[in-house]
Amino acid sequence: MKNVKMIALICGAIFALGFPLVVHTSYYIHILFMVYLFAALGVGWNLIGGYGAQLSLGHSIFFAIGAYVPVLLMLNFHISPLIGGIAGIGLALLAAALIGLPCFRLRGPYFALATIAAGEITRTLLLHFQGVTGGANGLPIPFHGDDALNLQFSTKAPYYYLALTLLVVVFLLVRYLEKEKVGLYLAAIREDQDAAESLGVKTMHIKLLAFMLSAAIAAAGGQIYAFTVAYIDPDGVASINLSIEIATVVIVGGIGRLWGPVLGAAVVILLTELTNIYLGAMRSGASLGMYGLLLIIVILLRPDGLISLFDRFDPELNKKGSK
Amino acid sequence: MLEINNIVTGYGDMKVLDGITLSVAEGETVALVGSNGAGKTTLLRAISGLIPVWSGNITFNGQDTTKLPAHELPALGIAHIPQGRGVLAQVSVYDNLLLGAYIPSAKSRREESLKEVFKIFPILEEKKTHLGGSLSGGQQQMLAIGRALMSHPKLMILDEPSLGLAPIVVDSVFKIIKDISAQGVSILLIEQNLVEALAVSSRGYVLETGRIALQGKSADLFNNDAVRAAYLGL
Amino acid sequence: MGTGIFLQTTLNGLMIGGVYALVAVGLTLIFGVMKIVNFAQGEFVMLGMYISWMLAHFAGIGPYEGLAISAVIMFLIGYLVFRLLIVRVIGKKDEEFILLTLGLSIFLQNAILMIFSADYLTVTSSMKDSALSFADLTLTLPRIIAFSVALTAVAVLTFLLQKTDTGRAMRACAESREIATVLGINPMRSFTLAFCIGIALAGIAGVLLTPMFYVYPGVGTLFNTTAFVVVVLGGMGSVPGALLGGLIIGIVESLTGSYVSLDLSQLGTFVIFLIVLFFRPSGLFGKRT
Amino acid sequence: MGTLLKVSNLKKSFGGVHALKDVSFDLRDGEILGLIGPNGSGKSTFVNTIAGLHQPDGGEVMLGEVNVTGLEPAIMARHGVARTFQSSRPFLNLTVLENVVIAALLHEKTTAAAETLAIECIEVAGLKDLLYAKASSLPIEKRRRLDLCRTLALKPKIIMLDECLAGLNPREMEEGLDLVRVLNKRGIAIIFIEHVMKAVVSLCHRIVVLNQGELLAEGAPADVMKNTKVIAAYLGEKYIHAGN
């Protein structure tokens, strides 16, 4: 069994690394780019939403910060997005702390509602301060030729590898944390917050930590997205729909499971793209509607996510219980 | 009238009751005693259909009620007063009482029932516009019993009516239970207050970790050393 | 700006606040009885608007004439949604319900988008442009009607909850499913009814809004967030709270819109929302726990 | 023996109900103190208030020289005050080992060290064969042991056991009592809430009786059990008059 897993992993790696070398259609590369991006966002969201069971519906805030900050710094002050990105992540960490501190006192639907409100405030502000953000018109990033320092490339492949790198880094980070103190503490919080407290777990600290980490990941994703599509606007990067899409990827794949968001992103993105191909030309709304439909179907039929379909093939899991 | 035949049940995959057989005859008052965690409340919940029975069966007046949904049992004449009295705190005393007569057979005569209940518990009439939750513990117990009476039950199930009440109030609650029993209503009673419980009942069962350890006439149980030992450790 | 404009703005806010209250009362009823937050409430407002538009467009029935028909259709849609979806997550974890209704919200929005496209539709009514004037103040008839119908609907609902057996049963379920059950009440019946009424109220609000608002697939989002705010403000589960909360939010939005900036009209609402959520999660009018 | 925990005039009410009216007593080093009283007498409220789950309305809790009144549960655990819950509350979807490791992480820096400590505690609790079993698969008796095991891994000075034997049969109860004695022998003072008097009498060095939120009696088990006020509170006023 272990061998099968290993072989699958190696094949996956070869496929992922080699894909842009073999396939040059930028549309296909873009689809995989989106899969990696959403998988990374999902793995990050899972930290707080899955392992910690705090249903955040405001992750678009951090995605938007990660997108707007480096773009604004580059357009206005010619600061390289490599530095701007760090500023974006820093600001996202700060925002997460500011939002998390009061919000984590709330439980259940109240927390979700508060994050929605915070997300809507962010979007409204981005729309309002047109002078800086371009308002609803958004900000196009003019192309000045290949320039790695400014994250500008004439082909899709470099962005593809950026997203892939983000996914791998985030995945390995979360895989490490899962087995460490933070991961175990988050699991305790998810299971029973009062009991966790009684065992000395400072639940507020742990939730904040997970939320901030997850926000930083969303910000990194936002930056990569912004420079890949070379255009940002509040509806694209700060809408509640984006927050829901991130959550959907995780739910569909398997909440609180390491591979869940990866599987979820693959299924959701591919299905929505297929919908676009077959229905998109004549009908708008089809691909987003697919998110809704998938969410409903998975919640009703398989609340543990699609990844749970593979559980029966994993003898280790069956022996040791949930991982 | 109530026949419980070898039932097994619990919560999730945790077995709490392991083969309980028990009966309550028409007009009889039966006490169920035992330490915390023995499964007394679970047994009452199983009788009322609030938790599913894994095996065994329950019949009431000859009708098998094991699989009936809980909300159909009151119409058969079973009134369950849950632990903590089950008064609706956000609902007025008056509406609490009307809800006692929610089942169709009771609805038609609820005005006269209301008068009867107010006669037994004048305090409830005085406080009928107050919220259930604003009453004192003793008044809440009266409201719970009064509300059960509104349905004209054949069997009343009480889960620790003396819980958290001052001794003087406990006395009056048991006096009321006696009166109700005198009117021919069967009663199944869980109680920590051993003396009161055995004093109002004719028979009793001692429950010990999901099984019936002892049963017999209340007077005999009262003088049984094993029962005293279980309660006082002496 | 003079007091005239201030009064006019407040009055406009009050009128629209009545409709917000109506959406929120439905939401709070569903939450109160079933302890679940319906994240798709706004989409049911949107459906109500489309039904109203279809009645006008295909059958020539004006929004006010067709109000009862629309309400009945929405009630039935509510029933369908309840039987098909909601019933399966009752008693499950909060998250499942949140996600299910979120999914429903996205699905409904986009299904409508696929059917009707993103075009802005309008419903005309002979009364649309009539207005009442008093001193310097003017109120258009649709606003007055919306406000009055909303208040009436809330009054009828309050009567139903307080003075009928069905309403008492719902309140019993709201407080404890178990106690209700031992009294012979079928909680599932109360849940169904509460949900369907909640959806019908959202639908009625939608119909009342059609003469004032454009009808388009995303219009529900606007009311979704507003309804959450109102419900939290008034205390989750409290009908009078939702009414008051709706009126307050209507006025706040209207004032922010005209004194601060039109595109920030919702911002004030959200800020109030967060403040209330943090300092009094039981709502301004709810009980402290 | 010195005083380990000193509770003075502790008060707590919910709405209008005075769950704890004015409770004062001491817990001494290394003792097992039984806390008994009829249902609803305020025992669980007492534990929850000491443990920081509820804020007291008045009074003071001193742990040695440290004032620990109203500290958060997590901080109390750090001060060495552990507790179990009345209804057993293991993390159901985690394994036995993971359950205990989470507690062990309070004092151990690395997961490896925490695992070593956890396994040690699990051995003491007699759950060694179930290291990788999910807590949800355990029967009630093993869950109760797991509760105890988790508190042990916190290396506490005091453990408050809220009906840790409820739902066990007499044999399991005996084994449970033995485990409590083992913990006590390790120098941990114990506050033991229990309804089965036989267990309380056989285990405890001293007993405190609560009734309706007030201290009713305090003393050696045999004496307390003969106290007429206690008998009245438990069995009813009439038991005494009934000629016993």
Give residue-wise pLDDT tens across range B43-59.
Answer: 999 999 999 999 999 99
Q: Determine whether the interchain pair A201/D150 forms a contact, defined as Cβ–Cβ distance below 8 Å.
A: no
B194 touching chain D per CB within 8 A:
yes
Phi, psi of A309 (to 5 degrees): -65, -25
Contact C269, C51 (CB under 8 A): no
Set of chain A residues whose Cβ sits within 8 Å of the Cβ of D154: 199-200
The answer to whether residues D173 and D55 belong to one domain is: yes
Write down which residue in D155, D170, D195 finishes a domain.
D155
Q: In chain B, pLDDT over 90 holds for what percent of residues?
A: 59
What pLDDT is recorded for position C119?
86
Contact D115, D104 (CB under 8 A): yes
Q: Let me know if B184 is exposed, middle or buried by CB neighbors in 10 A (0-12, 13-18, 19+).
A: exposed
Torsional class of B17: left (φ above 0), alpha (ψ -120 to 50), beta (otherwise): beta
Amino acid at A161: Y
Radius of gyration (Cα) for chain C, nearest Å?
Answer: 19
Phi, psi of B204 (to 5 degrees): -145, 155
Write down which residue in D107, D137, D155 finishes a domain.
D155
The answer to whether residues D166 and D183 belong to one domain is: yes
Quote the ipTM score.
Answer: 0.85
**Which residues in B25-91 belong to E strands, given as ranges?**
29-33, 55-60, 63-64, 78-81
d(CA D212, CA D203): 24
Secondary structure class of D207 (helix, strand, coil): strand
Phi, psi of D18 (to 5 degrees): -85, 100
The answer to whether residues D47 and D36 belong to one domain is: yes
Q: Determine whether the interchain pair C103/A286 forms a contact, defined as Cβ–Cβ distance below 8 Å.
A: no
In sequence order, the 6+-apart residues with CB closer than 8 A to the CB of B168 are none
Quote the minimal CA–CA distance from A210 to chain C in Å: 18
Of B50, B69, B102, the CB nearest to C183: B102
3-state helix, strand, coil in chain D (%, to 5): 40, 25, 35
Give the nearest chain A residue to D150 (CA atoms): A199
pLDDT digits (tens, 9 = 90+) for D91-148: 999 999 999 999 999 999 899 999 999 999 999 999 999 999 999 888 888 999 999 9
pTM here?
Answer: 0.88
d(CA B79, CA B93): 18
Provide the 10 A C-beta neighbour count for residue B63. Answer: 9
d(CA B34, CA B212): 9
d(CA D84, CA D71): 17
Cα–Cα separations (whole angstroms), residue B40 to B46, B212, D196: 10, 10, 15
The model's confidence at residue A282, banded by pLDDT at 50, 70 and 90, is low
Provide the 10 A C-beta neighbour count for residue C264. Answer: 18
The kind and range of the H/E element at C17 are helix C3-34
Q: In chain D, pLDDT over 70 holds for what percent of residues?
A: 94
Give the nearest chain D residue to B194 (CA atoms): D235
Q: Determine whether the interchain pair D201/B233 forms a contact, defined as Cβ–Cβ distance below 8 Å.
A: yes
Q: Determine whether the interchain pair C181/B151 forms a contact, defined as Cβ–Cβ distance below 8 Å.
A: no
Q: Determine whether the interchain pair B166/D196 forms a contact, defined as Cβ–Cβ distance below 8 Å.
A: no
Q: Determine whether the interchain pair B232/D197 forms a contact, defined as Cβ–Cβ distance below 8 Å.
A: yes
Set of chain B residues whose Cβ sits within 8 Å of the Cβ of C172: 88, 91, 99
Name the least confident of A108-122, C123-137, D150-164: C123-137
Strand order of the β-sheet with D158-162 is: D81-83, D158-162, D189-193, D32-36, D206-211, D214-219
Question: Which residue of B195, B221, B228, B234 is the best one to mutate when testing the D interface, meaning the one whose CB has the most D CBs within 10 A?
Answer: B195
Contact A253, A307 (CB under 8 A): yes
In sequence order, the 6+-apart residues with CB closer than 8 A to the CB of C162 are none
Which long-range contacts does D220-224 make (Cβ < 8 Å, 24+ apart)?
D221/B233, D221/D34
Set of chain B residues whose Cβ sits within 8 Å of the Cβ of D45: none
Name the least confident of B188-202, C65-79, C194-208: B188-202
Question: What residues make up the domain containing D176?
Answer: 3-80+158-242
In sequence order, the 6+-apart residues with CB closer than 8 A to the CB of C59 are C66
The kind and range of the H/E element at B11 are strand B2-11
- Structural domains of chain B, ranges and CATH numbers in brackets: 1-77+153-234 (3.40.50.300), 86-152 (no CATH)
How many helices and strands in chain C, by DSSP H and E?
Answer: 11, 2
A-D C-beta contacts closer than 8 Å: 81
The answer to whether residues D140 and D173 belong to one domain is: no
Radius of gyration (Cα) for chain D, nearest Å?
Answer: 18
**Which residues in chain D belong to E strands, given as ranges?**
3-14, 17-28, 32-36, 58-63, 66-67, 81-83, 158-162, 189-193, 206-211, 214-219
The model's confidence at residue A318, banded by pLDDT at 50, 70 and 90, is low
Quote the minimal CA–CA distance from C86 to chain A in Å: 9
CATH code of the domain in which D30 resides: 3.40.50.300
Quote the minimal CA–CA distance from B13 to chain D in Å: 8
B147 touching chain C per CB within 8 A:
yes
Phi, psi of A291 (to 5 degrees): -55, -50
B-C C-beta contacts closer than 8 Å: 67
Cα–Cα separations (whole angstroms), residue C23 to B20, C123, C203, C223: 51, 20, 8, 8
Quote the minimal CA–CA distance from D51 to chain B in Å: 23
Helices (H), chain B: 40-47, 73-76, 93-100, 104-107, 110-120, 122-126, 137-149, 167-182, 194-200, 218-222, 225-232
The CA-CA-CA angle for residues D56, D57, D61, to 5°, reads 45
Phi, psi of D50 (to 5 degrees): -60, -45
Set of chain C residues whose Cβ sits within 8 Å of the Cβ of B69: 186
Cα–Cα separations (whole angstroms), residue A211 to A92, A110, C99: 10, 16, 19
C174 touching chain B per CB within 8 A:
yes
Write down which residue in D155, D181, D206 finishes a domain.
D155
If one looks up domain C3-121+139-279 in CATH, what number appears?
1.10.3470
The answer to whether residues D193 and D234 belong to one domain is: yes
Give the nearest chain B residue to D197 (CA atoms): B233
The kind and range of the H/E element at C275 are helix C265-279
Of A191, A200, A320, the CB nearest to D106: A200
Quote the minimal CA–CA distance from B112 to chain C in Å: 17
The chains in contact with chain A, meaning 3 or more Cβ pairs closer than 8 Å, are C, D
Q: Do chains B and A touch (3 or more CB pairs under 8 A)?
A: no
D169 touching chain B per CB within 8 A:
yes
Phi, psi of D23 (to 5 degrees): -105, 130
Q: Determine whether the interchain pair C178/B50 forms a contact, defined as Cβ–Cβ distance below 8 Å.
A: yes
The answer to whether residues D226 and D188 belong to one domain is: yes
A192 touching chain C per CB within 8 A:
no
Amino acid at D184: N
Q: What is the mean pLDDT of chain A?
A: 89
Longest Cα–Cα distance of chain B, Å, equals 53
A252 touching chain C per CB within 8 A:
no
What pLDDT is recorded for position A284?
72
Following CA atoms C52, C55, C56, C61 in sequence, which dihedral angle do they give, to the nearest 10 degrees? -110
Contact C43, C217 (CB under 8 A): no
Cα–Cα separations (whole angstroms), residue A87 to A70, A230, B209: 7, 19, 62
pLDDT digits (tens, 9 = 90+) for D156-197: 999 999 988 887 777 888 899 999 999 999 999 999 998 777
Tell me the pLDDT of chain B (234 aa) as tens digits.
899 999 999 887 778 898 999 999 999 999 998 877 778 889 999 999 999 999 999 999 999 999 999 999 999 999 999 987 789 999 999 999 999 999 999 999 999 999 999 999 999 999 999 999 888 888 999 999 999 999 999 999 999 888 877 777 888 889 999 999 999 999 999 987 777 888 899 999 988 878 898 899 988 888 887 777 666 654
Quote the minimal CA–CA distance from A188 to chain C in Å: 17
pLDDT digits (tens, 9 = 90+) for C130-162: 777 777 778 888 888 889 998 999 999 999 999
Set of chain B residues whose Cβ sits within 8 Å of the Cβ of C169: 99, 102
Average pLDDT over residues A222-248: 93
The model's confidence at residue D244, banded by pLDDT at 50, 70 and 90, is very low
Contact A99, A58 (CB under 8 A): yes
